[in-house]
Structure 1
């Protein structure tokens, strides 16, 4: 009898201890911690577009429309839309959304947000995505109508990237102050930004949609990939961004963490300035293209997860063509082209802190092996973004970068890099502008595909860029975190959850 009571007591104590341990774990999980590579360049969602900024501010703001985890465009602030004509589209808006300061999100805020991002004076680097929009006007209590310059088949894909900001806050505090203390309507609200260290968010308990599972979220700046790996292995963080394939392999068998790779619509490429020596000589651009071993880089350095590309689109984009033939890897041909052109002068190869330095160093070595004299110039991410927006005449001689419009359409992917009206453009060629303009406004899919193929042929023969590979995004995550990475690199805290 005494033994029975002792066993019951022991079982009760054990159950209590288990419950306490479970409660302790639940309490620990009230905060999610994310290791980014770099500090966000901005928290104003209508300024710079890069993953370390996007991962944070996309949780603070809602967009007019969004994409689900399968990439389908679905309603968000807009619940319905219809075309009145090829150049007018009307959006019906939710009536139950409030900003984090308690004020209602109105049709005026939506119109203000659209008109703000297309305003040349605001100078948003994202403006070219919305270049077809002439104006947005309030046409009802919960209705906004967009007027376009011409038909825009990729409009909804672009609007999936447009966040709604509160007119009254922006107008009161100004753009600079708004960037430092953003106010949105999203599932998380801004708390603090400790520059160079972290950004802290808190759950919006009054959110109209699916609420976040975490009471708070911390996004830390951790440039060193080995540190990010160690953080997720030890359980110090719950998500680590931008791991390498070698680091992903190290997570196999880890008791605390897992690797989550996904092939994205982002691509890596080399930007060439055809207006500066030595690449004002077409032969030397050809030599550069022949010198780069894409297969060797993706297999030897990147673990075979990233896929070599011969064009400035991925198979995930509308506009991809199987007919474009890039120059093959041929170092002997590169050497003969350099010999014919004469020894080129020394130049810098500019790389931002966000890019995999192993790849840049491998390309540097390949260029030196065929006769180029090149040195790497590494800069921080904001500086890099400024440098590549200097235009075709003044941009870096050679740079390596990544590109993603998160729109899965060639309009967003090609227009920003090859149209003279874009601040990101690499070239200024009237015939390419004409093709991109026609494709952007045509409702004929065959015509659009034909135009984009011509642009792809131009890139393959004139070589303003060398496409490298379709990029895989590799996240390290806590084993208990249910998180589904997507090809468009969305990172929504309210789509995650803990699982036991």
Structure 2
């Protein structure tokens, strides 16, 4: 399997950034240089699967609503919205908005894009988050300026689901050429503030502010400063390199998730914000014919071999915290019962794991943690191979639905800030069927509790059902909770980016000098 050459990639990015100049050190005042973790796998928002896909999608495509502080929503392409119940919604579309080719963004345009996003055959990773197992019908009324959404089954997270980058509105030119859309080569596809104007994989991506763009969302606390005319995104996998380039002035904004954050302690030339919406946990491939299919005792043995605290310390430089579910402790309705987790017991693990062969996969961003998991299993007698892949290849492998991996070290960026987002990784429709579940095991009992929760409006009723859903997957050992991975976004003086609760919004990039 492919392993990214971390240092070579970082040096290449450094050369490009140094040549381009930046607001912090290069003298350019209308450009923001920001790091990515790796190359985007696609520029089609509906097909986005990894964090870097989400970043570019947010900059290139607007959504009908956006996340705001305090788990509230702000208007995006929609100026207002109403919910008749958990299955019927009306979106009022702002007038005067246009695509990157100048064509108007009408209710018909919005409905066509959302229909594609919601279609099972599109296989968007965000579909299940926004709809659960329901289907959706979007009916535009250009005269009234509205789009009515009707779900075949209730899903109370629907509006929050429409904030996802995957639900970004693709303009007609992009829908006519989806292959070109995915490659970023349809100039008229974009509905967001930026257009993609240059693309050099493994080096940099150039985004240019659309002339006359005026569709900025109406956040409760207005954004300050001005939008950059140019945004350069550079793939840099190594956190140490990101920190070095920030300090050298070659980067204006970068995100770091390890001990390199300490290099900015007390440095007034930078501001920092922390988000802990990324959690980590082990997922098992339970598809028929795999080593873990119908083997809860084997999954239990893996859990007995793992020390979540040791894993947390390795991946976060002792900045993270262990978790009791697939979501962080900040999420509403998250499990707090430690007794539901399998206790560490290396001796018991060895009785089941000795001689068993496992293939462990994970992203390069968690490479130290991936190696720890492999070594812990080897210490229990298992034979283990481990592959740390770049985000794009890792996401493709673990969502394909095949048998090419056994244990996935999942880094889960919970964009919605709701527990269902992470629960759907371990139950419900499988990824190969258009869902988010990477295990391939439906878990009808657990998913039944999730769908019950999404039909409820009362928070207590929701939490009761979600507690039962968590108990189900923990008792089945479909996943092993590990820890949070705090991500610290570092911005040089004169630059800003907004974090809403635990969600970093790339489209809020601003120059504030």
- Asked if these proteins are the same fold (TM beyond 0.5), I'd say yes
- Partner residue, 2:158: 155
Which residues in structure 2 correspond to 1:488-499 (within 5 Å)?
Answer: 488-499=502-513
- Is the Cα contact below 8 Å between 1:279 and 1:397 reproduced in 2? no
1:261 positional shift:
4.5
Give distance in 2, aligned partners of 1:347 and 1:300. Answer: 21
Name which of 263, 271, 295 aligns with 2:283. Answer: 271
- In structure 2, relative to structure 1, the CA distance for the partners of 1:205 and 1:91 (3 Å cut) is same
Q: How many pairs align? A: 470
SS in 1 for 2:244: helix
- In structure 2, relative to structure 1, the CA distance for the partners of 1:301 and 1:94 (3 Å cut) is closer
Q: Which moved more, 1:270-279 or 1:358-367?
A: 270-279
1:364-402, Cα deviation, whole Å (9 max, x unpaired): 2222223322221233333322222233x7362111121
SS in 2 for 1:403: strand
Q: TM-score, normalised by structure 1?
A: 0.86
Instruction: Say whether 1:172 aligns with 2:176.
Output: yes
Which residues in structure 2 correspond to 1:395-474 (within 5 Å)?
Answer: 396-420=405-429, 422-423=431-432, 424-425=436-437, 426=439, 427-474=441-488
- Is the Cα contact below 8 Å between 2:24 and 2:493 reproduced in 1? no
Bigger Cα Rg: 1
- In structure 2, relative to structure 1, the CA distance for the partners of 1:345 and 1:488 (3 Å cut) is same
1:75 positional shift:
1.1
SS in 2 for 1:46: helix
Which residues in structure 2 correspond to 1:334-353 (within 5 Å)?
Answer: 334-339=346-351, 341=352, 343-353=354-364
- Partner residue, 2:79: 79
Unaligned runs of 5+ in 1: 1-22
Question: Hey, which bits of structure 1, 4+ residues long, moved more than 6 A?
Answer: 23-26
- Is the Cα contact below 8 Å between 1:411 and 1:439 reproduced in 2? no
- Is the Cα contact below 8 Å between 1:69 and 1:484 reproduced in 2? no
- Partner residue, 2:6: none
Instruction: Say whether 1:313 aligns with 2:327.
Output: yes
Unaligned runs of 5+ in 2: 1-22, 217-224
- Is the Cα contact below 8 Å between 2:161 and 2:416 reproduced in 1? yes
- In structure 2, relative to structure 1, the CA distance for the partners of 1:292 and 1:82 (3 Å cut) is same
- In structure 2, relative to structure 1, the CA distance for the partners of 1:429 and 1:191 (3 Å cut) is same
Q: TM-score, normalised by structure 2?
A: 0.84
1:437 positional shift:
2.2
Give distance in 2, aligned partners of 1:342 and 1:218. Answer: 47
Which residues in structure 2 correspond to 1:60-459 (within 5 Å)?
Answer: 60-131=60-131, 132-141=134-143, 142-161=145-164, 163-177=167-181, 179-182=183-186, 183-210=189-216, 212-241=226-255, 243-254=256-267, 256-257=269-270, 260-274=272-286, 276-277=290-291, 280-299=294-313, 302-323=316-337, 325-327=339-341, 329-330=343-344, 333-339=345-351, 341=352, 343-353=354-364, 355-391=365-401, 394=403, 396-420=405-429, 422-423=431-432, 424-425=436-437, 426=439, 427-459=441-473
RMSD between aligned residues: 2.7
Q: Which moved more, 1:455-464 or 1:110-119?
A: 455-464
Give distance in 2, aligned partners of 1:24 and 1:274. Answer: 49
1:211-270, Cα deviation, whole Å (9 max, x unpaired): 8431211001122333222211100111122x2432111223557545x24132221111
